[in-house]
Structure 1
Amino acid sequence: MPGLMLLDTPSLYYRAFYGVPESVTAPDGMPVNAVRGLIDMIAMLVRQHSPGELAACMDADWRPAFRVAAIPTYKAHRVAPDGGEETPDTLAPQVPVIERVLDAAGIARLGVPGYEADDVMGTLASRAEGGVDIVTGDRDMFQLVDDGGPIRVLYTAKGVKNLQLVDEAAVSARYGVPGRSYADFATLRGDPSDGLPGVPGVGDKTAASLITRFGSLEALIRAVDEGGDLTAGQRARLSAARDYLRVAPAVVRVARDVPVPEHLDLALPGKPRDPETLAALAERYGLNGPLSRLSEALSWAPGT
């Protein structure tokens, strides 16, 4: 499905970091496993899916203030003593290298202050006029799936070599709700990995049943207020979680109105934007092999 491919770049470089041994180093001994792994992932994705456009979306803010204001526990367990994100010591120095490589190669790299990569992807997907593939290991992106776009997720849970294609049918089959209802379902169920408590006593099956029966979280809350068809236990649990349910949707839902520039050149680069810098990075960090594979995938002319 040629079109726009959106990369959840942090998700991918974390996967590369844990999937490629730290013994993969630059000539000076610095680990570059995440850098090399990400470059190879991008080459593979381009080669196998032939997108017309590509954007590497970044976390300009991994824990946005508007989400923390709504739910203070949001990603709180991942806050380092200095207030930043807790990141493995050998990964943190690789992120600037990744950014420099992407920029020198000419692959669009997008992050917006105050927002996560998820929000950038949500905005770009909503704007797109053709097909969109979102490459991520984050289930929250399932809320963007839309067969009408078409917008689909290439889910990396089993690795980039074994991507799971997630469309509306796949979301419905796995969770019992349509993709457009996934955010409401996830709000009820919660997500401990993001510090979202959910409604105590409401798991996947109950969340799916409630959203399917009432159609939306808003309609479900109205049913709680107006004496709708709920068991006494369900009503008690939902009533007790009213404060959480009031603010959680703004945290769980991916923003689709991020101030990303309107006119972006996301076309695959026909040649490196800065070949001299790219060559220097290849030499400095021992990236000749991965960059050669990326060059081949992008069909750069020899010597460019």
Structure 2
Amino acid sequence: MPWRICYTRGSSAEPWNPGETGRQGEKQEVTANEQRQSVMLVDGMALLFRAYFATASSGYIRRTKAGVPTNAIYGFIRYFWDAVQTFNPTHVVCCWDLGGGTFRGQQFAAYKCNRPDAPDDLIPQFSMIRDVMDSLGVPNISAEGYEADDCIGTLADQFGREMDVMVLSGDNDLLQLVSDRTTVIIMKKGHGNYMVYTPESLYEEKQLRPRQIIDVKALMGDTSDNYPGVKGIGEKTAIKLVQEYESVEGILENLDQLSKSVRAKIEADLDMLHLSRKLAEIHCCVPVACSLDVCQLSLDHHQVISKFEELEMKSLCSLMGLAIG
């Protein structure tokens, strides 16, 4: 099974990442010389929405004295810093969706059309959290016409030539990026609870290789992203087919080996099968780049404290071991 890491701030648990580091509050500046280099690619939208609904669902929206909502920002930083302390990257990049159309929407007009509009209290926090990440020295990366997943995939490919890559998200779609150099960290319910996927642990849990995640989604579709796959084929059947025949191509080459029912469903939906596969695949050739010196994690204490004070979040200074005064 993938590692389940329950990390509680203030506990005696050691960080997961190799290399020696100080405990909370003892060391805030991380340099490449102190540990094996690694980069954490953060799925910004996944963290922000998780942080917003973690409190909004209970009816509580944190606000400044002026009434500006900040609950998503506050929760985001708590999630983000917990992951940094747990996995100890030397470099960090945050990737975002820009909003508006993407190439997937051009390929399939109904793509993600089932999603409701963002809550009013969340909308102003989209730009505010980017400012906060700027104050932490973390670059914000996005690309017009592409999703954050595509930016993450592209950067994982680029950085993976030089160092270990960690992808932080709550989205299982990103499991297709798992490789010998790229680990995908899926945030689970609760604070400090992660599932960490390597090629070996992914196969142990699902009996699938990373690229086969795409083929499974091509068959079963994705209700969250609103594309159907092959009508009548669910997750269990999709996984079984991919496990047995390796890929969509392998399945199509062996249609005569399938049951009449499954074969009929696939033959009736061939076009959607191929389209769903295109929609499911993360593109790793997006026109984005980020140099190592720009994304090295090194906090400017004064800048961070100033931003948290501006947003009336002084408690985050304590969380991150930053002395005020």
TM-score between both structures, scaled by the size of structure 2:
0.80
**Which AA in structure 2 matches 1:42?**
F
Q: Does 1:69 align with 2:100?
A: no
Opposite residue 267 of structure 1, the aligned amino acid is: Q
- Residue correspondence of structure 1 range 148-167 to structure 2 within 5 A: 148-149=180-181, 151-167=182-198
Displacement of 1:292: 4.2
Q: Is the 8 A contact 2:214 2:281 kept in 1?
A: yes
Matched, 1:52 2:85: no
- Offset, 1:92: 0.6
Where is the helix percentage greater, Structure 1 or Structure 2? 1
Deviation at 1:29, TM superposition (A): 2.5
The answer to whether residue 310 in structure 2 is matched with residue 281 in structure 1 is no
Question: Cα deviations across residues 225-280 of structure 1 (Å, max 9, x unaligned)?
Answer: xxx422221211101111102222221001111111263522102426x82xx555
Q: 1:70–1:220: structure 2 CA closer, same or farther, 3 Å change rule?
A: farther
Question: Partner of 1:42 in structure 2?
Answer: 80
Q: Which residue of 1 aligns with 2:163?
A: 130
The answer on whether the counterparts of 1:108 and 1:266 sit within 8 Å (CA) in structure 2 is yes
Amino acid across the alignment from 1:67: R
| 2:265 alignment partner, SS class | helix
Bigger Cα displacement from structure 2, 126-135 vs 163-172: 163-172
The one of 171, 175, 178 equivalent to 1:145 is: 178
Any idea what SS the aligned residue of 1:186 has?
helix
Following superposition, the deviation at residue 62 of structure 1 comes to 6.2
Question: Aligned pair in 2 of structure 1 residues 62, 159: CA closer, same or farther (>3 Å)?
Answer: farther
In structure 2, what is the Cα distance between the partners aligned to 1:189 and 1:174? 19
3-state SS in 1 of match to 2:295? coil
> Could you say what secondary structure the match of 1:192 adopts?
coil
Using structure 1 for the length normalisation, give the TM-score: 0.86
* Shift, 1:288, TM fit: 1.8
Q: Which residue of 2 aligns with 1:82?
A: none
Contact 2:228 2:276 in 1 (8 A): no
Judged with a 3 Å threshold, the aligned counterparts in structure 2 of structure 1 residues 262 and 32 are, in CA distance, closer, same or farther, namely closer
Unaligned runs of 5+ in 1: 80-85
2:316 equivalent among 279, 282, 290: 290
Residues in 1 aligned to 2:121 and 2:299: alpha-carbon distance in whole angstroms: 32
SS for the counterpart of 1:13 is helix
Distance 1:61 1:96 in 2: 12
Shift of 1:18: 1.1
Taking structure 1 as reference, are residues 174 and 72 closer, same or farther at Cα in structure 2, changes over 3 Å only? Answer: farther
Deviates more, 1:212-221 or 1:232-241: 212-221
Question: Could you say what the CA RMSD is over the residues aligned between the two structures, in angstroms?
Answer: 2.2
1:236-247 → structure 2 map (5 Å cutoff)? 236-247=264-275
- Is 1:192 aligned to 2:223, yes or no? yes
The letter of the residue matching 1:98 is I
What are the residue-to-residue correspondences of 1:1-304 with 2, within 5 Å? 1=17, 3-21=38-56, 22-61=60-99, 63-64=101-102, 66-78=103-115, 86-127=117-158, 128=160, 129-146=162-179, 148-149=180-181, 151-224=182-255, 228-261=256-289, 263-264=291-292, 265-271=294-300, 275=303, 278-294=304-320, 296=321
* 8 Å Cα contact 1:54-1:107 kept in structure 2: yes
Unaligned 5+ segments in structure 2 are 1-16, 18-35
What is the distance in 1 between the residues matched to 2:191 and 2:183? 15
- Which whole-Å deviations, capped at 9, do the CAs of 1:140-191 have from their partners, x for residues lacking one? 0011112x21x22211132341111122344334433222211111111111
Query: Size of the alignment, in residue pairs?
Result: 284
User: Which stretch of structure 1 is more off in the superposition, 12-21 or 168-177?
Assistant: 168-177
Q: Is the CA contact (8 Å cut-off) linking 1:27 and 1:285 kept in structure 2?
A: no
In the alignment, the residues of structure 1 paired with residue 299 and residue 48 of structure 2 have an alpha-carbon distance, to the nearest angstrom, of 24
